[in-house]
Amino acid sequence: MFGLPLLQVVSIVGALAVLGAFAADQFGWVDPGRLSYALANFVGAAILTAVAVIDGQVGFIFLQGAWSLISLWGAFIILRGGPGPRSR
C-alpha cells in the first residue's frame, strides 16, 4: 500500500476496524449491542495489540489488549443471548 512496510499496512487495517465501528456507532448506523460491532472492535484492537507487541510499545499493548478483552467479553455476552452493551 503506497510503499508502506507491511507492519504499517496491518496497523492501518486494525485502526480502520476500530475507527469504523466507532464512527458507525456515533452516526447511528450500527447498534453497539450487535455482534458485528463487538467483533469489529475486537479484531481491530487485536491487530493493534499484535503490532504493539512487535514494536515493544508497552502502553499500547496495555491499551489495545484491554480494548480487545473488553470487546471480546461484549461479543461473548451477545452470543450468550444477553443484551449487548448500550443496546438501543
Taking the domains of the chain in order of start, what are their residue ranges? 16-79
Residue 53 CB neighbours (<10 A): 14
Measuring CA to CA, which residue among 83, 10, 85 is closest to residue 46? 10
Mean pLDDT (the chain) is 91
Q: How far apart are CA 44 and CA 68, in angstroms?
A: 8
- Does residue 87 have a pLDDT over 60? no
For residue 5, report the phi and psi dihedrals to the nearest 5 degrees: -60, 150
The structure's pTM equals 0.84
Query: In the prediction, which pLDDT does 15 show?
Result: 96
- At 49, is the pLDDT very low, low, confident or very high (cuts 50, 70, 90)? very high
- At 84, is the pLDDT very low, low, confident or very high (cuts 50, 70, 90)? low
